[in-house]
Chains A and B, each alone.
Chain A
Amino acid sequence: ELKVEQNPLFLSMQEGKNYTIYCNYSTTSDRLYWYRQDPGKSLESLFVLLSNGAVKQEGRLMASLDTKARLSTLHITAAVHDLSATYFCAVDMELGSGYALNFGKGTSLLVTP
């Protein structure tokens, strides 16, 4: 069974600080996805990591993928309040005729002044 584990599940951090969210998965997937969800809203795609060693950055967020370690990280630099949200990582789950996403439980991030 494919497992996707995120940690921490809850994170409270001060503005201006740095932190990393970890995503471990149990299958040999070369594709990993990060999504953001604001309260009461749908999921917004942040990053698609398609190969080992992939690194992508957008603003204060940077995601990386190590397929050998089955690990992805989402690094937050100099956090600001607007980054408060729930962050999900997801891995491809092979189905009979295609792929779907298997999600981690999400990391609820709260950035405080």
Chain B
Amino acid sequence: SQTIHQWPATLVQPVGSPLSLECTVEGTSNPNLYWYRQAAGRGLQLLFYSVGIGQISSEVPQNLSASRPQDRQFILSSKKLLLSDSGFYLCAWLRTPSYEQYFGPGTRLTVT
């Protein structure tokens, strides 16, 4: 069976500090991977998606970046955090042929 992991689970960082969030998927190969952010309130916003190693597409221009160094690893980074980066970051993978997305447990980031 497939599982998706994210870490850390929670993170408190000062403004201007760097960020690295990690997502890994087990039990499947070459999945489509996604980063979403859920700001306080509730809506989910697509940040990045990847269809393979080294292939990253960004949906929202901002101070965040993503990388996919391995088939089942997806990393979200920032060089300098902003207050507006606070939120709940969710990684997801796409299961075919149902096109259903499964979400990881999330990382709650608070920028102070």
Q: Which of A42, A95, A100 contacts B103 (CB 8 A)?
A: A42
Q: Does B43 contact A (CB under 8 A)?
A: yes
Q: Are B42 and A105 in contact (CB under 8 A)?
A: yes
A104 to B18, CA, bound (A): 31
Q: Does A76 contact B (CB under 8 A)?
A: no
Q: Are A97 and B100 in contact (CB under 8 A)?
A: no
A34 to B70, CA, bound (A): 30
Q: With contacts A50-B98, A103-B44 known, is A95 near B90, CB below 8 A? A: no
Q: Does A48 contact B (CB under 8 A)?
A: yes
Dominant secondary structure at the B interface: strand
Q: Are A42 and B104 in contact (CB under 8 A)?
A: yes
Interface residues of A in 17-54 (CB under 8 A from B): 31, 33, 35, 40-45, 48, 50
Q: What count of chain B residues pass the 8 Å CB interface test?
A: 25
Q: Does B3 contact A (CB under 8 A)?
A: no
Specify which chain B residues have a CB less than 8 angstroms from the CB of A108 in the assembled complex: 42
Specify which chain B residues have a CB less than 8 angstroms from the CB of A100 in the assembled complex: 34, 46, 49, 59
* Contact-residue bracket for chain A: 20 to 34
Q: Does A72 contact B (CB under 8 A)?
A: no
Interface residues of A (CB under 8 A from B): 31, 33, 35, 40-45, 48, 50, 86, 88, 92-93, 95-103, 105-106, 108
Q: What are some 12 contacts across the A-B interface (CB < 8 A)?
A: A33-B100, A43-B90, A50-B98, A93-B46, A95-B49, A97-B55, A98-B32, A98-B51, A100-B59, A101-B34, A101-B92, A105-B41
Other A-B contacts than A41-B106, A42-B105, 11 sampled, CB-CB below 8 A, are A33-B100, A43-B44, A43-B103, A45-B101, A92-B99, A99-B94, A100-B34, A101-B34, A101-B92, A106-B43, A108-B42
Interface residues of B (CB under 8 A from A): 32, 34, 41-44, 46, 49, 51, 55, 57, 59, 90, 92, 94, 98-106, 108
